[in-house]
Amino acid sequence: MDGILEEKCWAIARCFLPEENWWHGLPHIRRMLALLDGFFVEDPTVDTVVLNAVRMAVYFHDIGRSRPDDSRGHALASVDILEELVEQEGLALPHREWVLYAIANHSVGLGGQSPTNEKETVLGILVLLDHADAIGAIGIARTFAHMGRSLPLIPEDEVDIKAIYYCFTYPKSITMADVQIKERSCVGCIAFNFAATSHITASLTGLIPVSFMDIISGRQERMKLFALDILGQTGAT
């Protein structure tokens, strides 16, 4: 991506994403770009054209959070804003179809399937980067900053506690029913992010640089130990 377009992307992102919101605002975008540059660009496993589309999607995937009243969710709201910018402001959007597809579906991901074309590859890498920023120490901090004021530390329901242990033990086997645990406790949210990351890494086998996979595995392990320690100390077994 050329420097002029990159500056334009930053300028647009600043209009919609606050600096002080470090879990979903501009700091989140910086961390995702650092992961993209530090691993995929340095150790390319996919075509540069695909990586440039991922870069565009990173900048804009959360701008729809500026429209919290959109009942469809922030992903589709982000697409609407981006299409408005393309049509009204003349924003150059290389590989527009790939970028819009990735942004529209980044809250859902690949559904456990491996990508079969370029736009699905863009989606998969975008979701991977997004999840990589939601695990490990930064993921734990994000969970408590974003969810800690509205959710209890651990779930009150024993069924949810068992589901959390299941997520950590069999992360690739979680179902849509398990997704709900992230909405009922902070530790449940941590367990969901752990399992969801395992799903997306399994889908992208062969496309993730080995060095990046090592980072992911390390972050997941720290997150798991933290959550299990909390459950153990609170007697939630």
Residues 169-218 pLDDT 10s: 998 887 766 677 888 899 999 999 999 999 899 999 899 999 999 999 99
Q: What pLDDT was estimated at residue 92?
A: 83
Nearest to 109, CA basis, from 236, 199, 19, 174: 199
Asked if residue 235 and residue 159 are part of one domain, the reply reads: yes
Question: In whole angstroms, how large is the CA radius of gyration of the chain?
Answer: 18
Residues with Cβ < 8 Å from 138, sequence gap 6 or more? 31
| One domain for residues 17 and 81 | yes
Q: Is residue 119 in some structural domain?
A: no
Q: What pLDDT, on the 0 to 100 scale, is given for residue 41? A: 84
Shared-domain flag, residues 156 and 104? no
Whether residue 149 is contained in a domain is answered as: yes
Query: Do 40 and 95 lie in a common domain?
Result: yes
- Answer yes or no: do 1 and 105 share one domain: yes
Tokens 């961390």 found at? 31
Q: Is 93 in the same domain as 177?
A: no
Q: Helix or strand or coil: residue 194?
A: helix
Q: Are residues 161 and 230 in the same domain?
A: yes
Boundary-marking domain end, from 93, 109, 125: 109
Work out how many domains the chain is built from and give that number. 2
- Domain assignment of residue 125, yes or no: no
For 101-152, the pLDDT digits (tens) are 999 999 989 988 999 999 999 999 999 999 999 998 889 998 998 887 889 9
Does residue 220 sit within a domain? Answer: yes
In a domain, 191, yes or no: yes
Does 50 fall in a domain?
A: yes
Calculate mean pLDDT across residues 37-43: 87
Contacts 24+ apart (CB under 8 A), 179-186: 181/155, 183/151, 184/151, 184/152, 184/155, 184/157, 184/160, 185/151, 185/152, 185/153, 185/154, 185/155, 185/156, 185/160, 186/143, 186/144, 186/147, 186/148, 186/151, 186/152, 186/153, 186/154
Res 32: pLDDT = 97
**Are the C-beta atoms of residues 123 and 54 closer than 8 Å to each other?**
no
Residue 129 is assigned to a structural domain of this protein: no
* Contact between 215 and 39 (Cβ < 8 Å): yes
Mean of pLDDT over the chain: 91
Question: Using N-to-C axis directions, what is the helix angle for 48-60 and 74-89, rounded to 10°?
Answer: 100
Same domain for 153 and 191?
yes
Reported confidence tier of residue 228, pLDDT bands at 50, 70, 90: very high
Domain match, 105 and 138 both: no
- Dihedral sign computed on CA atoms, order 180, 183, 185, 188: positive
User: What's the pLDDT score for residue 233?
Assistant: 83
Instruction: Write down which residue in 74, 109, 144 finishes a domain.
Output: 109
For residue 47, the tally of other CB atoms under 10 A from its CB is 11
In this structure, are 80 and 144 located in the same domain? no
In a domain, 122, yes or no: no
Domain coverage including residue 41: 1-109
- Pair (151, 233) in one structural domain: yes
| Contact assessment for residue 123 and residue 100, using Cβ atoms and an 8 Å cutoff | no
In the predicted model, is pLDDT for residue 81 greater than 90? yes
> Is 100 in the same domain as 141?
no
